[in-house]
Amino acid sequence: MIDKLLAFLEQFTVEERKEQLLEVAKQRTRYVTVVLENIYQTQNASAVLRSCDCFGIQDVHIIENENTFNINPQVVLGATKWLHLHRYNEQTNNSRAALQKLKADGYRIVATTPHRNDTDLQKFDFSKGKTAFVFGNERAGISDIVMEEADEFMKIPMYGFSESLNISVCAAITLQHAANHMKNSQIEWQLADAEVKQLYLEWLKKSIKKSDLLITEFNKRNNTAF
């Protein structure tokens, strides 16, 4: 039935838009995901989301402990429309809850920090399995809980006097490297066909004016409940 709904909705957009939505969906990945812990600067938060969209990262996990994650529309430029944001803000210890859920979903937790002598980004082994890169906040970096829960640590080599990068720059460098590496490897990083189709449907609905009314009409005609 989803194919029938797609065919129905595709009547209300142009061919170029359909092709663009489907092609971008095919480039999305959940093999790598991003975790943002306690970010408080809206410009950094928004810039990271924009980088996730640019480099094909579909899911972003947002841990809100002391700080609420706010978005700057002028920086994010609509990127959140195409991403899935997962917020963790209902427990006393949101960091541990988020990381344990990701582990249960098959991700290895990789903490990004310049203060641990572990793997440089250029030497990071993506073939070992699904990866959740954790980026800490602007002042304190990653928390002690992330340190405890991390399976691995990753750093971007520095050659100057500054010992760290701005979080949005760090995320952009990491994700650009990850995207290039995956696309030039034998890693099965792409979404399953069913996931691509579901994402395409979601984006198609967002791209068509009054798509909710159109879907209501489709449901009436076909006795369904999309």
CATH superfamily of 30-198: SPOUT methyltransferase, trefoil knot domain (3.40.1280.10)
Residues 123 and 24 sit within 8 Å (Cβ to Cβ):
no
User: In Å, what is the CA distance from 64 to each residue of 40, 43, 46, 109, 210?
Assistant: 9, 16, 15, 18, 33
What pLDDT is stored for residue 165 in this prediction? Answer: 85
Please tell me the predicted confidence (pLDDT) of residue 124: 94
**What's the pLDDT score for residue 96?**
94
Instruction: Supply the pLDDT for residue 115.
Output: 63
Task: Give dist(CA 47, CA 182) in Å, integer.
Answer: 22
Residue 134, amino acid: V
Please report, for the chain, the start and end positions of each structural domain, with discontinuous segments joined by +.
30-198
Confidence (pLDDT) at 65:
86
Assigned token pair, 8 = 């129905």
Extract the residue ranges of the chain whose pLDDT is less than 70: 115-117
pLDDT on residue 116: 63
Strand order in the sheet with 108-112: 84-88, 59-63, 32-37, 131-135, 108-112, 152-155, 119-120
